[in-house]
Amino acid sequence: MDLDLEGKVAIVTGGSRGIGLAIARRLAREGARLAICARDPARLEAAATSLAEAAGTTDAVVLARPADTSDAAARRAFVEQVLAKAGRIDILVNNAGTHLRATVDDLTEELLQRQLGDKVFGFLGMIQAVLPQMRRQGDGRIVNIIGQATRHPHPDRLPSGIANAAAQAMTKSVADAVARENIRVNSVCPQYIETDIIAATIEREMAARGVDRATAASGFTRANVLGRLGQAEEVADLVAFMVSDRADFVCGSSVSIDGGYNRYVFG
Amino acid sequence: MELGLRDKVAIVTGGSSGIGFAVARRLLREGAKVFICGREPERLEHSLAELASLGEVQGTSAHVDRPADAEKLVEAAVAAFGGLDIVVSNAGTHLKGRLEELSVEAVEAHFRTKVLGPWELARRAAPHLRRRGGGRFILIIGQAGKVPGRGVLASAVVNAAQHAFVKSLSDDLGRDGILVNAVCPSRIASPLTDRLEIDEEPYLGRSLEQQESGWGRTVPLGRWGDAEDIADAVAFMASERAGYLCGANIDVDGGYQRMIF
């Protein structure tokens, strides 16, 4: 199916590894031109090289520049540079964000601020930064990557639970606000994707509980219907569909990609 | 994006018109072999003739609310193409009316068409999908399930049951590699909506500003979608690119439904 993404300019935040890199790579393969940001310069450079390889051309990478999307000035500077280099912005994938664990007993205000800084202020700030250009174009596609702590609050995922629910509310509200200008905002909701974050969590479980990898991982694999972790590429394929012309009536929708993990009848 | 649908065998119910026809056409264009059914033999023949140039397509007339028809449909598709990989359960209708206009019998018939029909279809299809090592079952669910309203009582209740069916069935079949998901259309121009009187309640659940601006009269995107929009979402969900979607649904409704997740 032709996604008609050839020549589209796409920003992927947190695009240097994991889900973000897989999304950037898929979009590059579909002919999009990528602007990625992340916090670690070395990883970012490696990611840019891999994107050019995936697309078969260095033209596929408009910009790869370190930026922390929880920082308003960094967001503005990044978007300005993308515009200066590419002249347009068709797609924004808000992916950058850490998953912070804490319970009601140990959650500090600072930690919650950090979580909100990534996933709420960071996402919203990026949207505000690209909107003027998307409005000028009369076309824009925005996808927010929001983990399933929204649909599954959990005592030790308090910061994510709060931030993700807020990000979902933001997604729907902004989708309503800009839809008439032909800018589509949606969310893609992954859970238990085999990334560095999951690997680190499994290692922590192994150390904390003194169990082997399979036992530690079974806590994840048992928790979804398919009995396996998902791959970052699978999330990337869904995102590519959502930002494509093939989804141009999909607006304000929140799509789960979690192997059946969530327990929502309407989700 | 390569969907990996080449030579996959798909059943599309209600495939002779509207959304079902568009789904069949899209799957054929992606290289799948498609078996459609519809209620009216004449229209079915006409649609088959129209689709023939796109690939391998066959069909039969069937009423999905009759259990025997579901069995015959599945067996005919398997006989025609040697197996089954994808089922798109699209046949359905909309039952409009306020409480006193809706007899229990009418609601029961509606439930039979939209829940028990797909149920029997899934029951008959599952052994064949398992034989292929897995497959896809996709239900098309109108947005009355997520957006209740006056005069859509029957559809709201039955469509909500369809959502519960999809999620439960996805749990039931997921470990067999059969992924069950839904696509939820609204405001899609089709033969069904030609006769549909839209919403006497454009103000319900809308803010003062939205009411005054007329925003509430139609969807946030400000336009209607077409059957192709649904077909593209179905093709994605049916594809090998959607292997981790299980018990999920995609709204293809221009922003109409009001849930935040």
CA atoms of A62 and A151, how far apart (whole Å): 36
Three-class secondary structure assignment of chain A: CCCCCCCCEEEEECCCCHHHHHHHHHHHHCCCEEEEEECCHHHHHHHHHHHHHHHCCHHHEEEEEECCCCCHHHHHHHHHHHHHHHCCCCEEEECCCCCCCECCCCCCHHHHHHHHHHHHHHHHHHHHHHHHHHHHHCCEEEEEECCCCCCCCCCCEHHHHHHHHHHHHHHHHHHHHHHHHCEEEEEEEECCECCHHHHHHHHHHHHHHCCCHHHHHHHHHCCCCCCCCECHHHHHHHHHHHCCHHHCCCCCCEEEECCCCCCCCCC
In tens, the pLDDT along B128-169 reads: 999 999 999 999 999 999 998 888 999 999 999 999 999 999
- Residue A223: inside a domain: no
- Domain hosting A103: range is 9-193+230-257
Q: Chain B window 93-112: which residues touch A at a Cβ cutoff of 8 Å?
A: none
pTM: 0.96
User: Do the strands B57-61 and B33-38 form a parallel or antiparallel pair, or are they unpaired?
Assistant: parallel
- Residue A202: inside a domain: no
Residues in chain B within 8 Å Cβ distance of A255: 245, 248-250
- Residue A224: inside a domain: no
Q: Do B248 and A175 touch (CB under 8 A)?
A: no
Is the reported ipTM for this assembly greater than 0.90?
Answer: yes
Per-residue model confidence (pLDDT) at position A98:
85
Whether the predicted pLDDT of B197 surpasses 70: no
Whether the predicted pLDDT of B19 surpasses 80: yes
Per-residue model confidence (pLDDT) at position B198:
58
Domain B9-189+227-245 indexed as CATH 3.40.50.720: yes
- Interface size between A and B, measured as CB pairs under 8 A: 147
Q: Is A184 on the interface with B (CB under 8 A)?
A: yes
Per-residue model confidence (pLDDT) at position A176:
95
User: Do the strands A183-190 and B225-226 form a parallel or antiparallel pair, or are they unpaired?
Assistant: unpaired
Per-residue model confidence (pLDDT) at position A197:
79
* Range list of H helices, B52-116: 67-81, 104-111
- Which of B240, B251, B260 is the best substitution to test chain A (most A C-beta atoms within 10 A)? B260
Per-residue model confidence (pLDDT) at position A267:
82
Per-residue model confidence (pLDDT) at position B150:
86
- Residue A32: inside a domain: yes
Average pLDDT, consecutive stretches of 10 residues, N- to C-terminus, chain A (267 residues): 98 97 98 97 96 93 96 98 98 94 96 96 98 98 96 92 97 96 98 89 90 88 93 98 98 98 93
Q: Are B145 and B163 in contact (CB under 8 A)?
A: yes
- Residue A53: inside a domain: yes
Q: Is B171 on the interface with A (CB under 8 A)?
A: yes
| Residue of B171, B229, B239 with shortest CB distance to A225 | B171
- Residue A187: inside a domain: yes
| Residue of B188, B247, B253 with shortest CB distance to A225 | B247
Domain count, chain A: 1
Question: Which chain B residue shows the shortest CA-CA distance from A27?
Answer: B1
- Whose tokens are 């905002």? That residue is A185
Per-residue model confidence (pLDDT) at position A150:
92
Whether the predicted pLDDT of B216 surpasses 80: no
For residue A181, give the nearest of A145, A142, A143 by alpha carbon. Answer: A142
The CATH number of the domain where A177 resides is what? 3.40.50.720
Q: Are B184 and B141 in contact (CB under 8 A)?
A: yes
Residues in chain B within 8 Å Cβ distance of A194: none
